[in-house]
Amino acid sequence: MYQQNSFNGADLPAKTLCLTFDDGPGIHTLAIARFLFENHIRATFFVVGKYAFHQPEILKELKEMGHLIGNHTYDHPDLPYYVSVNGDVINQVLRTDAIIKPFVDSGQIYFRAPYGKWSAEVAQELNRSMLTANHIGPIHWEIAGVDCYYWQNNWAVEDAAARYLSDIELNNQRGIVVFHDEIADMDVVKPHNKTLDLLKILIPQLLEQGYQFVRLDEIIPIKTASAEKPKFTLRIGKEKCVSLKNDTDLNCEGKPENPQNLLCLEELGFGKIAIKAANNLYLSSAEIEIKANRAVIGETETFDLIPVDKNKIMLRCYDGNYVGIEKGKLTKKAPHMRQAAIFSYANHNHMITDDIAWEQRLLLLKKQLLFVRSKLQQKI
């Protein structure tokens, strides 16, 4: 889940640093990663999707060396402004997810906003999607990534190393440190990137001074957040939710703020998920009626997650039938998508109100009428 306030490394022990790298992968990424690996340092690389898409072999080697790969959006936009002009921030994140997930060991994706720019509106927008529920972010820092400004101005590598040492001292000898293994927005600066040379000066000095290094997911507040399974509710209409009733039965009459509405998401890969109810048992489509009655995930406890809108989804069962609603209960009696129930997803039991403009309503109605006409023409 995305927080309004950023995660950082302020609580790290003295002389403990977490090294992070932004904007790659690029031509220097593997050399930087190998140098750190040789010095027994595991770092975190926040990658830009448009670069990672063309260089999966770099991501593979980063993973093999024990480095962590995080999400830094697909195109590196200024997110608060991007959201203000109706930019699709969820798409920015999910396109990058699709590239990096094969190289992420855990079910969690760590996210850093470009330039560190963040707002409550960005968090709210990203939390609308069930597909970003397993994200931890935003990840900020204590020691800023000033290296790119040194390369932009052709300042000496030695001066950059001295600046980092000074900033680390000023920040109580601890925290998350930012470097740039690539430069995302300034092509003229890319050829001047000397971050590897900077590290070859800086790391030996830090090691000599007794500094220790941790990976991002070893920082206690981040590690704690990572251990929490994303909780959500599935809303039907404006006032009702999927809710646990009795021991294992589910109904569609749950009222807002009822703890029996809370569900837990587990991603299984390839677009499949499992859902755990408030009784700590998984939803199962083994029978016609969907029930929360299985302690482990098997074939009948897997569902295809099909996004409809930012916070709307359909669910398809293992046998190809869709989850529908009949007499207030969830069933798998919907053989076609047009018979499937469309649920509204809300993170942490918060209801989301979508104010749809009349123009959008008319456009949606037009699409529905065109669909009906096409089916009549096909005699289906």
Within-domain flag for 135: yes
Between CA 302 and CA 305, with CA 304 as vertex, the angle to 5 degrees is 120
Q: Among 207-211, 222-226, 289-293, which is the least confidently predicted range?
A: 222-226
For the chain, the helix, strand and coil percentages under 3-state DSSP, each to the nearest 5: 35, 30, 35
What is the per-residue pLDDT for 246?
86
- The per-residue pLDDT for range 314-366, each reduced to its tens digit, is 999 999 999 999 999 999 999 999 999 999 998 763 444 444 455 555 655 66
- The per-residue pLDDT for range 109-140, each reduced to its tens digit, is 999 999 999 999 999 999 988 889 889 999 99
Within-domain flag for 162: yes
Residues 246 and 291 in one domain: yes
Within-domain flag for 354: no
Residue that the structure tokens 């040379």 belong to: 197
Residues 239 and 191 in one domain: no
Distance set, CA 114 to CA 24, 69, 77, 102, 304 (Å): 12, 15, 6, 22, 31
What is the enclosing helix (H) or strand (E) of 159? helix 157-170
Distance between CA atoms of residues 333 and 266, nearest Å: 24
- Mean predicted lDDT score pLDDT of the chain: 91
Residues 235 and 222 in one domain: no
User: Could you please report the per-residue DSSP string of 311-376?
Assistant: TEEEEE-TTSPEEEEETTEEEEEE-SGGGS--EEEEETT--------HHHHHHHHHHHHHHHHHHH
Residues 202 and 274 in one domain: no
Q: What is the mean pLDDT of residues 252-277?
A: 90
Examine the fold and report which residue of 226, 260, 283 is the final residue of a domain before the chain moves on.
226
Examine the fold and report which residue of 226, 260, 292 is the final residue of a domain before the chain moves on.
226
What is the per-residue pLDDT for 310?
82
Distance between CA atoms of residues 31 and 7, nearest Å: 28
Within-domain flag for 374: no
Within-domain flag for 234: yes
Which residues face 366 on adjacent strands? none
Within-domain flag for 358: no
Amino acid in the structure at residue 26:
G
Torsion 280-278-219-345 (CA) sign: positive
- The per-residue pLDDT for range 231-248, each reduced to its tens digit, is 899 999 878 999 998 899
Residues 164 and 311 in one domain: no
HSE (CB half, 13 Å, CA atoms) of 5? 3
- The per-residue pLDDT for range 81-95, each reduced to its tens digit, is 999 999 999 999 999
Between CA 270 and CA 43, with CA 123 as vertex, the angle to 5 degrees is 65
Q: What percent of the chain has pLDDT over 70?
A: 91
Q: What is the mean pLDDT of residues 22-27?
A: 97
Within-domain flag for 28: yes
Within-domain flag for 301: yes
How sure is the predictor about 372, in pLDDT bands with cuts at 50, 70 and 90?
low
pLDDT at 11 over 50: yes
Residues 238 and 129 in one domain: no
Distance between CA atoms of residues 129 and 133, nearest Å: 7
What is the per-residue pLDDT for 28?
97
Residues 159 and 48 in one domain: yes
Residues 179 and 296 in one domain: no
User: Could you please report the per-residue DSSP string of 8-57?
Assistant: -STTSPTTEEEEEEEEE--TTHHHHHHHHHHTT---EEEE-HHHHTT-HH
Tell me the CATH number at 235: 2.80.10.50
Residue 149: domain span: 2-226
How sure is the predictor about 370, in pLDDT bands with cuts at 50, 70 and 90?
low
The count of structural domains within the chain is 2
Residues 52 and 179 in one domain: yes
What is the per-residue pLDDT for 366?
61
Distance set, CA 288 to CA 214, 291, 322, 323 (Å): 49, 9, 11, 10
Distance set, CA 19 to CA 8, 30, 171, 180, 206 (Å): 12, 15, 14, 11, 12
What is the per-residue pLDDT for 1?
83
Residues 25 and 151 in one domain: yes
Residues 85 and 197 in one domain: yes
146 neighbors 137 (Cβ within 8 angstroms) = no
Tell me the CATH number at 98: 3.20.20.370
- The per-residue pLDDT for range 291-307, each reduced to its tens digit, is 999 999 999 999 999 99
Examine the fold and report which residue of 196, 226, 256 is the final residue of a domain before the chain moves on.
226
Q: At 177, list the tokens.
A: 């440190």
Top pLDDT among 277 and 253 is at 277
Residues 25 and 126 in one domain: yes
